[in-house]
Structure 1
Amino acid sequence: MNKKQQVIQLHLQDVSQRQISKEVDISRNTITKYIKAFEKSKAADVRNLPVTEDILSPPSYKKRAGVKRKMTEEIVERLRGFIQDNEWKRKNNMSKQQMKKIDMYEKLQEEGYDIGYTTVRNFVNTEERRAKEVYIRQRYSAAWEVEFDWGEVKLVIDGKQKSYSLAVFTLAYSNYRFALLYESETMICVQDAHTKLIDHLGFIPSVFTYDNMRTVVKSFVGTDRKITDGMINLS
């Protein structure tokens, strides 16, 4: 707040000009001038004031001198390194730890590179399309392998919506599905689902394949998984 504003504020609080002079440290003549100008402006009818050309003209803005952002060779190599790290994580069952495009952008910003997010996103998309993996369909033998995973189902029962866990088995050869609903995903539920699957099929598949679910994998040691006691007992 400048001194003129201080004078007007104190004047509106009915402070004497002598006291204002002491507090603001300016002469009483200057204070009188400020107050008179303020009172005059209060008496003016702003509805009758002429409209100035400044108000009629469109607003103008000072053009900001932006910094041109370049995809340098150094940034290219850095981004390719991020992409290679993601590929390694996918192959080593660490998909959830991959860097997203926004993570790559923020990392480059932290390292002092002047680059826009759109430029990073477009480059990564191009690189990933170029290096897209080719998947070859595997040939399975009948009754050889079955895959197990949990899903989620929302059902409305008695007018209330509730979430249930869906234990799903898929036979790799025939793509045959067998599923059971449970209220939780405990080890007891896993064991019960396997027992009912075998009873339903009438045979035991040679290979059971699982995702890294908590009821199956206890912990990771490097790239090795430590299987839970419940699954070892089931085996």
Structure 2
Amino acid sequence: MTISMSVQEEIRRLDSEGVPARQIARDLGISRDSVTKYADISDYSPRPATPVRRPGASVLTGYIDVIEGWLADDARRPRKQRHTARRIFDRLVAEHGYAGSYSPVQRYVKAYQQDRRGAGDGYAELSWPAGTAQVDFGQANAVIAGVLQVLHVLVVTFPFSNMRFAQAYAGETAECVCHGLRTIFEHAGGAPRQLVFDNATGIGRRVGAQVVESKLFAAFKLHYRCTARYCNPYSGNEKGNVENAVGFLRRNLMVPEPVAATLTGLNQVLLAQCDQLGAGVHYRKGVPIGDLFTDDVTACLALPTAGFDPVRYETRVADKTGNLLIDANTYAAGTAFGGRKVTVGIRHDRVEILDEHARPVVTLPRAFGHQADTVFDPISLLPVLIAKPGAWTHSPARATVTDPVRDWLDTADTTDRRQLLAALHAAGTAAGYQHAITAADTLIRAGDDPGTAAIGMLARRLATGTEPAASTVDLHVYDTLTTGQHNHGDQPDVEHDDQQHDQHSGVCA
């Protein structure tokens, strides 16, 4: 039975006045043992609560040595490959016939680890000066051009102000990192003096005390005069601000999945949304984030007059078909470059192929991961198809045209097929491949021969936006113009018009 503080106070008052314990117990309605207990307390100073461990050791009898052996061995293993309480429980059941529940195992493992925690374990609170940024990647889904994609979101935070920025990319390469950092630097108006990363393999990594950086990122640092530090990949607290920001921005900017026509458009929206987050108040300092970020920018380095061009140039020799292997994916330079040495400029979103004299040959979209199909520009395949029209049936270019154009080429004889392919190549070179295909599709649907100069004129009008909307044309007006006769009456002379049309038709025939 718990005795309230007021009753305890009364017990001690009566006891101090010399009232017998029997009388106190009878007057207050409590036992004499309670009177004796509270009357004899000599120190009422507050004391910390002593946790009472729940029972459980008895069900682990015979398993303690096994558990402690596994945990002791973990000290020699990487942190991410050590036993969890769940793994220990599963092994006890599978290997030692343990029949108890999971909870006693969990409690024992927790107590074991807490008892052996050193004074240097745990996280230190770090203070970040203005002008310092932390960088990390996170993943999120987005719908780009109608396709759901997994994007790699580059997050840059300024811990002093808690300002956060994000840019999304298809990969985590050095080209993506440098492009994103340049975009954020120019948006913020300054370059951070120090960038803090974990072991991001795209730009560099730390092995012990040695740091190895990519040449592209080393040039990026020289360009902006900033430094970089690579923290322990197992110590998230060393860049905890950006670690938290990755999850925060994913929950607040990427839920539900954003929809955009292009990745560039999505990134513009992300910057605008990050600016809006800057209007909030710092969670600890109680000052608007935007005001603190002004101090961050002031402490940053001034931007150079020219922005860094994040491109990596490498030399390749094309195979006999004119294909190149770049980062595990195949790109088509064109059959004319079979066996030739070319230069490739690798950017975050595209691959530029240059000839021996550094003149542009073709620009292709960059592929990330591993793709089974060759990345190619359809127009670069047309010259060999013009020379070998029989190869059309199995050419990758066949899948890039519309159904009417494909059907026309499939059924055309060798001469007509070569003629249309040559017309597509000429029109595509002048006005763009897609405009050339649209022009050919339009002519075929109208019943005209697409393998003529008309495809080039129509493609150029489509490219410049000067092609008028299709409409039905009354050709009878040309009958009056060619005969020079007009009907001036109020009512049309149907018979006269028909006669003139017949006469005109006969002349044309």
Q: TM-score per shorter chain, which class?
A: 0.5 to 0.7
Change (3 A) 1:107 1:233: farther
Aligned to 1:81: 72
Aligned equivalents of 1:150, 1:98: Cα separation in 2: 25
Residue 228 of structure 1 corresponds to 214
Q: Deviations over 1:96-136 (max 9, x none)?
A: 333333444566789x7665672443322333456495534
Residue 185 of structure 1: how far off its partner (Å) = 2.0
Partner of 2:150: 163
- Does residue 142 (structure 1) correspond to residue 133 (structure 2)? The answer is no
Match of residue 99, structure 1, among 70, 83, 90: 83
Q: Flag the 1:155–1:147 CA change in 2: closer, same or farther, 3 A.
A: same
Q: CA deviation at 1:153?
A: 2.3
Per the alignment, residue 140 of structure 2 pairs with 153
* Residue 141 (structure 1) shift: 1.3
SS at structure 1 position matched to 2:200: coil
Structure-2 separation of matches of 1:228 and 1:158: 32
After superposition, the Cα gap between the structure-2 partners of 1:157 and 1:226, relative to the gap in structure 1 and judged at 3 Å, is: closer
Residue in structure 2 matching 1:192, options 179, 197, 200: 179
* Amino acid in structure 2 at the alignment position of 1:198: F
Cα contact 1:149–1:211 (8 A) shared by 2: yes
Q: Which runs of 5+ in 2 are unaligned?
A: 1-58, 222-509
| Rg larger for | 2
Read off the aligned partner of 1:172 and give its amino acid letter. Answer: P
Q: 3-state DSSP class of the match of 1:156?
A: strand
Please give the alpha-carbon distance, in whole angstroms, between the structure 2 residues aligned to 1:83 and 1:205: 40
User: Which residue of the partner structure matches residue 49 of structure 1?
Assistant: none
TM-score, normalised with respect to structure 2: 0.27
User: Alpha-carbon deviations, 1:13-49, whole Å to 9, x = none?
Assistant: xxxxxxxxxxxxxxxxxxxxxxxxxxxxxxxxxxxxx
Q: What is the identity, as a one-letter code, of the residue corresponding to 1:139?
A: S
- 71-80 or 101-110: bigger deviation: 101-110
Distance change (3 Å), C-alpha of 1:221 and 1:108: farther
> Who is 1:70 aligned against?
61
1:79 deviates by 4.2
1:62-121 Cα shifts (integer Å, max 9, x gaps): xxxxxx7525553353244156456xx4xxxxx4333333444566789x7665672443
Q: CA RMSD in A?
A: 3.5
User: Would the aligned equivalents of 1:142 and 1:173 in 2 still touch at CA under 8 Å?
Assistant: yes
The code of the aligned residue for 2:199 comes to N
3-state SS of the aligned residue for 2:168? strand
Aligned equivalents of 2:86 and 2:183: distance in 1? 45
In the alignment, is the contact (CA less than 8 A) between 2:173 and 2:203 conserved in 1? no
Number of positions where the alignment pairs a residue of Structure 1 with one of Structure 2? 158
Deviation at 1:166, TM superposition (A): 1.1
Give the unaligned 5+ runs of structure 1.
1-67, 90-94
TM-score (norm 1): 0.52
User: How is 1:46-65 mapped onto 2 (pairs within 5 angstroms)?
Assistant: none
Q: 2:424: which partner in 1?
A: none
